[in-house]
């Protein structure tokens, strides 16, 4: 049984989708703990309702980034994690911290990387006039939103979209994409090798297919 530790900063909607998939699909894994990175992290209540161990670890309570990351690493390592999943964790991590979990820490970003790294992705996509937007799951490396891409989901940008409507469409795609990718990782289908993603055949009984839906299209699938 593999252990997953999830880091969040907000309401934890991607956490909820992963927890539901893990439970319903009976992954050979469990979410061992959820750590909240802000003084008020609403998603911790969702985790507690799922019976998952939680800890609130607000970076505002630490005088230095190094002290915060040392305590964060200790909190993660207490659960002997196989995977560290960033699900709306709004904190830039230092290279030494990333190196500690390299190859087993993943993130989801609300754009089709390498387009629109960083913040305000939906506003910037609308300003650029793109017709396709989406979400990316990638391995975490020291560069901001720059790690090897595991999978992406695309959504159309409609005439009349604003940040709110576009964000809602992308988030719905995230809720399908992220659990699927985490399951691939648990099953050993995707691994980080040097600076690229290496793919292996699906295990017996594992998830072998990914299908597009009406409003979200997977751009790549093994």
The yes-or-no answer on residue 109 being catalytic is yes
Q: Is 97 left (phi over 0), alpha (psi -120 to 50) or beta?
A: alpha
Q: Is the pLDDT of residue 29 over 50?
A: yes
Q: Is the pLDDT of residue 114 over 60?
A: yes
CATH number, domain 1-101, options 2.60.40.2470, 3.40.50.150, 3.40.50.170, 2.60.200.20: 3.40.50.170
What is the average per-residue pLDDT within 29-48? 92
Rounded Cα gap, residues 147 and 26, in angstroms: 29
- Amino acid 213: pLDDT: 46
| Mean pLDDT estimate for the chain | 90
Residue with tokens 């907000």: 10
Q: Is the pLDDT of residue 32 over 60?
A: yes
Cis peptide before 114 (omega within 30 of 0): yes
Task: Say how many C-beta atoms besides its own lie within 10 A of residue 196's C-beta.
Answer: 11
Query: Percentage of the chain with pLDDT > 90?
Result: 78
- Amino acid 59: pLDDT: 86
- CATH number of the 109-137+150-222 domain: 3.40.50.170
Rounded Cα gap, residues 53 and 31, in angstroms: 9
Q: Are 12 and 46 in contact (CB under 8 A)?
A: yes
Alpha helices in the chain (DSSP H): 13-25, 43-49, 65-77, 95-100, 121-128, 163-186
pLDDT band at 131 (very low <50, low <70, confident <90, very high): very high
Q: How many CA atoms lie within 13 A of 160 on its CB side?
A: 0
Q: Active site residue: 109, 133, 138, 175, which one?
A: 109
Q: Is the pLDDT of residue 35 over 90?
A: yes
| Two domains, one topology: 1-101 and 109-137+150-222 | yes
Q: Is the pLDDT of residue 215 over 80?
A: no
- Amino acid 85: pLDDT: 98
Query: Percentage of the chain with pLDDT > 70?
Result: 91
- Amino acid 218: pLDDT: 60
């Amino acid at each position: 049984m593999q252990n997953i530790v999830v880091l969040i900063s907000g309401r934890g909607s991607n956490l909820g989708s992963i927890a539901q998939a893990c439970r319903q699909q009976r992954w050979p894994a469990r979410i061992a703990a959820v750590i909240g990175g802000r003084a008020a992290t609403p998603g911790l209540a969702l985790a507690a309702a799922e019976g998952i161990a939680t800890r609130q670890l607000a970076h505002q309570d630490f005088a230095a980034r190094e002290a915060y990351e040392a305590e964060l690493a200790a909190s993660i390592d207490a659960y002997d994690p196989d995977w560290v999943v960033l699900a709306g964790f709004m904190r830039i991590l230092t290279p030494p911290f990333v190196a500690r979990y390299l190859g087993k820490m993943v993130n989801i970003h609300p754009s089709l990387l390498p387009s629109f790294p960083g913040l305000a992705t939906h506003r910037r996509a609308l300003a650029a006039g793109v017709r396709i937007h989406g979400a990316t799951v990638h391995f975490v490396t020291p560069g901001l939103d720059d790690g090897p891409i595991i999978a992406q989901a695309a959504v159309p940008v409609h005439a009349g979209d604003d940040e709110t409507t576009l964000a809602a469409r992308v988030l719905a795609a995230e809720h399908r994409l992220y659990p699927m990718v985490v399951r691939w990782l648990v099953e050993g289908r995707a691994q980080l090798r040097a600076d690229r993603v290496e793919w292996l055949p699906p295990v017996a009984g594992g998830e072998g297919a990914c299908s597009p839906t009406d409003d979200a299209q997977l751009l790549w699938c093994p």
